[in-house]
C-alpha cells in the first residue's frame, strides 16, 4: 500500500507530485499521440526545472486573456460566460501549441464578484472597460492599529475585520464571534458562539456567500473541464497552485503600499511578526492546491520587493526571510516554488541566490538575464524575460531576434524555460506565435 | 534650541522633525520659513534617491512626514503664500488604466519640487487631457500607465494632442513599469522616466528648454 502523505519525506512527496503531473490518474487522452505529446511536454519542463538539458527549451507564454482577444471576445465576455471562456482559451492552446497551459483561472468568475460587492479589484464591466483586464484597487483594508488583532488570530481578523471591508455583501460577518469559542457545551460556550448566526445581518451575509458559492461551483466546473480537455489533447497545465509572499499579502491585500511602507518605519516589529504569522498560511495555500491538481509548481507572483521598491537592506530584513520560509515550507511538502519577480530583480540576485538548490524556478520580467544566469545558473532553473514591450509593439522578426538572444544567453547547459516577462493580453497574435515557434526552432539541444 | 528641520526630514526622523516644527510654531516662527526648510529636506531626499541611497519607501515615508508637517503649519499660513513657481505640469494615468501608486509619487515629487501640478487622476480619456492643456497652457504633460493596454492609450492621447495642434508646444513624458525606449517610439512621446525623481529632472529640462 502507498505511504500516507504525512509519512513521506520531502523527496517522496515531490516524486509523488511529479508522477501525478507526468501521468495524471484521471487522464483520458484523445489519442496515443496526444498521450505521448503530453508526457514529452511534462518531461521537458521537469528536465528544465531539474537543471538538466531537455530535448529543447520549453516554451510557456504567460498568457492572460490572450485567448479571448484572438477569438474576438473581451475579458468581460469570458468572465461572465464560461463556455466562451472554455472555447477561446482552448483555441489559444490548440492553435499555438505552447508546452503548457495556464488554466482558465486567470479569468475569475465575474458574477460571483458582483454578488459579493467585491472592492479590492475593478473588473471588466465593473469599474474597468469590458475590453480590459481586471485591476487591483489598493487601500488600507486593515488599519495601522490592527496588527495585534491580525497576529492574534488571522482567520478571525479576515472574517470579521477584513472581509466586511472588501466584500460589501459580507458586512454582517463583523458580528461573528470566534469559532475557537465553540470549545464545549458547558458554560454556554457553544450557545453563545452561535448567537450571531441568528442575527439578520449575519444571515444575509451567509445567503450571499451561498449564492457566491453556487457561482464558484459553475466556474470551477469550467476550470476542471478545461484542464481535462487540454490533457486529453496533450497539453499539461503549468500551475499546481499559487500563493503569495507574506510582505505582498500585507502590502497588496491588507495595508496597501503606502500603509506597509509607513509600517516599515513606524512599527517594524509588528510588521515582521505579522509576516511570520502568514508563513504557514501561505505554505498551506500553495500545497493544498498543488496536491489537488497533481502538479508540484506553486506560482508566487512577487510585487513589492522589486529593484527600487526597497533597499537591499530592507529587502533582506522585510521581504526575503518570510518569502524564503514560504519557499522552504513548500519544498518540504514536495512542491516546486515558482517565484515570479515582476519588474527588475537585478540588485536582488545575490540575495535570492540563497534559494534552495535545484528545487525552485525563478521567473523574471525585466531583470538582466545574463546576470541572472551567471548568479543563479548553478542554483536553479530560470525563466521569463521575453519583453512584453517587444511582444506588444515589435515585429515577429524583433521577437525572433530576442528569442535567439535569450536562448543563447540562458539555455546552454539547460535550466531555462522561455516565458514572457509579463502577462500577455491583447498582443499581436503573430508575435506570440513567433515566440513559440522560434523557441521550438532555435531551442533544440544537440 | 536651534534644531535642524531640514536634516531631520532628510534623515527621515519623523518624531524629531515634528517636534522641531511644533517648537518653532510655538515660538512664533514664520510658517513659510518652516516650509522652506522642509522643502530643502525634500530636495536632499530626492538627491539621495537619485544617487541610489534612498528607495521608494524612503520617498513615500518622507511624504508621510511632510504631510504631517503641512497639517501643523497650514492653519498658520496666509492665503496664497505657497505659490508654485516651477511651471505647470499635467499628470494623468491614461484611459483604461486605474493604477495610481506610481503616478501619485510622481505628482508628489513634482509638487514638492515647486511645480504647479494638475493631477487628473486615473483612467483619463485623451480628450480630457487635450482640454486640460488648452485650459491651463501647461507646457509639460506626464502620462502614466502600469498595464500594457496603456501603450495604445498613450499613443492615442499623444495623437489627440497633435490633432488639436498642441504637440509643438507640449512636451510629453511617459512612465510606468513596462515603459521602454521601444514604447517611447511607439507612442510618439518625447521621453520616458524610470522613477519620480527622473520625472522632476525631465520636467525641469523641458521647462528650461521652452
Q: Is the pLDDT of residue B99 over 50?
A: yes
Q: Compute how many other C-beta atoms are within 10 angstroms of the C-beta atom of residue B191.
A: 15
Mean pLDDT, residues B14-23: 96
Distance (Å, whole) CA A246 – CA A244: 6
Q: Is the pLDDT of residue B2 over 50?
A: no
Beta bridge partners of B116: B88
pLDDT number for residue B74: 86
pLDDT number for residue A240: 97
Q: Is the pLDDT of residue B210 over 80?
A: no
Kindly identify which residue of chain A lies nearest to residue B12, measuring between CA atoms: A265
CA angle (B151 as vertex; B115, A419 as ends), nearest 5: 125
User: Distance, in angstroms, between B72 CA and closest chain A CA?
Assistant: 19
| B12 in A contact zone (CB under 8 Å) | yes
Q: Above pLDDT 90, what percent of chain A? A: 98
Asked whether the beta carbons of residue A264 and residue B147 sit closer than 8 angstroms, the reply is no
B12 CB neighbours in chain A (<8 A) are: 265
3-state SS of chain A?
Answer: CCCCHHHCCHHHHHHHHHHHHHCCCCCCCCCHHHHHHHHHHHHHHHHHHCCCCCCECCECCCECCHHHHHCCCCHHHHHHCHHHHHHHHHHHHHHHCCCCECCCCCCCCHHHHHHHCECCEEEECEEECCCCCCEECCCCCCCHHHHHHHHHCHHHHHHHHHHHHHEHHHHHHHHCCCHHHCCCCHHHHHHHHHHHHHCHHHHHHHHHHHHHHHHHHHHHHHHHHHHHHHHHHCCCECCCEECCCHHHHHHHHHHHHHHHHHHHHHCHHHHHHHHHHHHHHHHHHHHHHHHHHCCCEEEEEECCCCECCECHHHHHHHHHHHHHHHHHHHHHCCCEEEEEECCCCHHHHHHHCCCCCCCCEEEECCCCHHHHHHHHCCCCEEEECECHHHHHHCCHHHHHHHHHHHHHHHCCCCCEEECECCCECCCCHHHHHHHHHHHHHHCECC
The closest alpha carbon to A150, from A300, A267, A265, A266, belongs to A267
Best of B52, B59, B98 to disrupt the A interface by mutation (most A CBs within 10 Å)? B98
pLDDT number for residue B85: 83
Q: Is the pLDDT of residue A36 over 60?
A: yes
| B98 in A contact zone (CB under 8 Å) | yes
pLDDT confidence of A156, banded at 50, 70, 90?
very high
Q: Which of A131, A314, A387 shows the shortest C-beta gap to B57?
A: A314
CB A435 within 8 A of CB A59: yes
Give the residue extent of every domain in chain A: 5-106+213-442
Asked whether the beta carbons of residue B57 and residue A309 sit closer than 8 angstroms, the reply is yes
Asked whether the beta carbons of residue B178 and residue A261 sit closer than 8 angstroms, the reply is no
Whole-complex ipTM = 0.88
A131 CB neighbours in chain B (<8 A) are: 96
Tell me what the pLDDT averaged over chain A comes to. Answer: 97
Mean pLDDT, residues A4-26: 96
| B179 in A contact zone (CB under 8 Å) | yes
A422 CB neighbours in chain B (<8 A) are: 148, 178
For residue B91, the surrounding DSSP H or E stretch is strand B88-93
Mean pLDDT, residues A7-34: 97
B180 CB neighbours in chain A (<8 A) are: 387, 389
User: Distance, in angstroms, between A347 CA and closest chain B CA?
Assistant: 11
Q: Is the pLDDT of residue B92 over 50?
A: yes
Rounded CA Rg of chain B: 18
Mean pLDDT, residues B49-71: 93
pTM for this predicted structure = 0.94
Domain covering A5-106+213-442 in this structure, CATH number: 3.20.20.210
Asked whether the beta carbons of residue A393 and residue B186 sit closer than 8 angstroms, the reply is yes
Distance (Å, whole) CA B111 – CA A71: 45
Q: Compute how many other C-beta atoms are within 10 angstroms of the C-beta atom of residue B165.
A: 10
Give the residue extent of every domain in chain B: 5-76, 88-208
Distance (Å, whole) CA A121 – CA A119: 5
Best of B12, B106, B149 to disrupt the A interface by mutation (most A CBs within 10 Å)? B149
pLDDT number for residue B81: 63
CATH H-level superfamily of B88-208: Cobalamin-binding domain (3.40.50.280)
Q: Which of A135, A310, A422 shows the shortest C-beta gap to B178?
A: A422
Distance (Å, whole) CA B165 – CA B41: 40
Mean pLDDT, residues A100-128: 97
A390 CB neighbours in chain B (<8 A) are: 182
Q: A355: Cβ–Cβ under 8 A, 6 or more apart, which residues?
A: A324, A327, A362, A376, A379, A380
Asked whether the beta carbons of residue A122 and residue B98 sit closer than 8 angstroms, the reply is yes
Q: Is the pLDDT of residue B83 over 90?
A: no
| B15 in A contact zone (CB under 8 Å) | no
Domain covering B5-76 in this structure, CATH number: 1.10.1240.10
pLDDT confidence of B1, banded at 50, 70, 90?
very low
Amino acid at each position: 500500500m502507498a505511504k500516507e502523505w504525512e509519512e513521506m519525506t520531502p523527496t517522496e512527496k515531490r516524486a509523488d507530485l511529479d508522477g501525478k503531473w507526468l501521468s495524471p490518474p484521471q487522464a483520458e487522452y484523445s489519442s496515443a499521440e496526444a498521450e505521448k505529446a503530453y508526457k514529452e511536454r511534462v518531461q521537458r519542463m521537469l528536465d528544465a526545472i531539474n537543471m538538466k538539458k531537455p530535448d529543447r527549451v520549453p516554451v510557456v507564454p504567460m498568457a492572460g486573456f490572450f485567448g479571448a482577444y484572438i477569438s474576438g471576445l473581451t475579458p468581460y465576455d469570458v468572465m461572465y460566460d464560461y463556455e466562451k471562456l472554455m472555447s477561446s482559451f482552448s483555441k489559444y492552446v490548440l492553435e499555438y501549441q505552447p508546452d503548457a497551459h495556464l488554466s482558465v483561472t486567470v479569468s475569475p468568475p465575474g458574477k460571483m464578484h458582483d454578488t459579493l460587492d467585491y472592492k479590492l479589484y475593478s473588473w471588466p464591466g465593473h469599474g474597468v472597460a469590458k475590453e480590459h483586464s481586471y485591476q487591483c484597487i489598493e487601500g488600507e483594508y486593515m488599519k495601522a492599529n490592527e496588527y495585534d488583532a491580525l497576529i492574534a488570530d488571522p482567520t478571525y481578523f479576515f472574517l470579521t475585520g477584513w472581509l466586511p471591508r472588501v466584500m460589501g455583501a459580507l458586512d454582517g460577518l463583523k458580528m461573528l464571534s470566534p469559532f475557537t469559542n465553540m470549545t464545549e457545551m458547558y458554560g454556554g460556550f457553544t450557545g453563545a458562539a452561535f448567537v450571531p448566526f441568528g442575527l439578520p445581518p449575519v444571515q444575509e451575509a451567509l445567503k450571499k456567500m451561498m449564492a457566491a458559492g453556487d457561482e464558484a461551483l459553475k466556474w470551477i466546473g469550467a476550470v476542471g473541464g478545461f484542464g481535462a480537455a487540454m490533457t486529453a489533447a496533450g497539453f499539461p497545465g503549468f500551475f499546481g497552485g499559487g500563493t503569495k509572499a507574506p510582505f505582498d499579502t500585507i502590502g497588496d491585500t491588507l495595508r496597501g503600499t503606502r500603509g506597509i511602507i509607513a509600517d516599515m518605519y513606524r512599527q517594524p516589529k509588528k510588521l515582521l511578526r505579522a509576516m511570520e504569522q502568514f508563513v504557514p498560511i501561505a505554505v498551506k495555500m500553495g500545497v493544498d492546491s498543488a496536491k489537488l491538481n497533481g502538479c508540484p509548481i506553486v506560482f508566487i507572483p512577487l510585487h513589492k520587493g522589486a529593484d527600487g521598491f526597497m533597499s537591499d537592506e530592507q529587502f533582506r530584513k522585510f521581504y526575503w526571510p518570510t518569502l524564503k520560509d514560504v519557499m522552504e515550507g513548500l519544498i518540504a511538502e514536495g512542491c516546486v516554488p515558482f517565484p515570479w519577480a515582476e519588474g527588475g530583480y537585478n540588485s536582488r540576485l545575490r540575495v535570492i541566490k540563497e534559494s534552495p538548490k535545484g528545487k525552485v524556478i525563478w521567473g523574471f520580467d525585466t531583470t538582466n538575464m545574463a546576470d541572472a544566469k551567471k548568479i543563479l545558473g548553478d542554483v536553479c532553473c530560470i525563466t521569463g524575460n521575453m519583453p512584453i514591450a517587444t511582444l506588444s509593439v515589435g515585429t515577429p522578426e524583433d521577437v525572433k531576434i530576442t528569442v535567439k538572444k535569450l536562448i543563447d544567453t540562458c539555455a546552454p547547459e539547460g535550466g531555462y524555460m522561455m516565458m514572457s516577462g509579463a502577462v500577455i493580453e491583447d498582443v499581436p497574435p503573430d508575435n506570440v506565435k513567433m515566440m513559440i515557434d522560434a523557441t521550438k526552432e532555435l531551442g533544440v539541444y544537440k | 534650541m536651534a534644531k535642524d528641520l531640514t536634516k531631520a526630514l532628510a534623515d527621515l526622523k519623523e518624531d524629531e522633525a515634528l517636534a522641531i516644527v511644533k517648537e518653532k510654531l510655538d515660538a512664533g516662527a514664520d510658517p513659510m520659513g518652516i516650509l522652506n526648510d522642509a522643502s530643502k529636506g525634500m530636495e536632499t531626499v530626492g538627491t539621495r534617491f537619485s544617487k541610489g541611497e534612498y528607495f521608494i519607501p524612503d520617498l513615500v515615508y518622507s511624504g508621510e512626514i511632510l504631510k504631517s508637517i503641512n497639517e501643523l503649519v497650514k492653519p498658520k499660513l496666509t492665503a496664497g503664500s505657497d505659490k508654485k513657481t516651477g511651471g505647470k505640469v499635467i499628470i494623468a494615468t491614461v484611459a483604461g488604466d486605474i493604477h495610481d501608486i506610481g503616478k501619485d509619487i510622481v505628482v508628489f515629487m513634482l509638487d514638492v519640487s515647486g511645480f504647479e501640478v494638475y493631477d487628473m487622476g486615473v483612467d483619463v480619456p485623451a480628450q480630457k487631457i487635450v482640454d486640460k492643456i488648452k485650459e491651463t497652457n501647461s507646457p509639460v504633460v506626464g502620462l502614466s500607465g502600469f498595464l500594457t493596454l496603456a501603450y495604445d492609450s498613450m499613443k492615442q492621447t499623444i495623437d489627440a494632442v497633435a490633432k488639436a495642434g498642441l504637440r509643438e508646444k507640449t512636451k510629453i513624458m511617459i512612465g510606468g513599469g513596462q515603459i521602454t525606449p521601444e514604447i517611447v517610439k511607439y507612442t510618439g512621446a518625447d521621453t520616458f522616466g524610470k522613477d519620480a525623481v527622473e520625472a522632476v529632472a525631465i520636467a525641469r529640462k523641458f521647462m528650461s528648454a521652452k
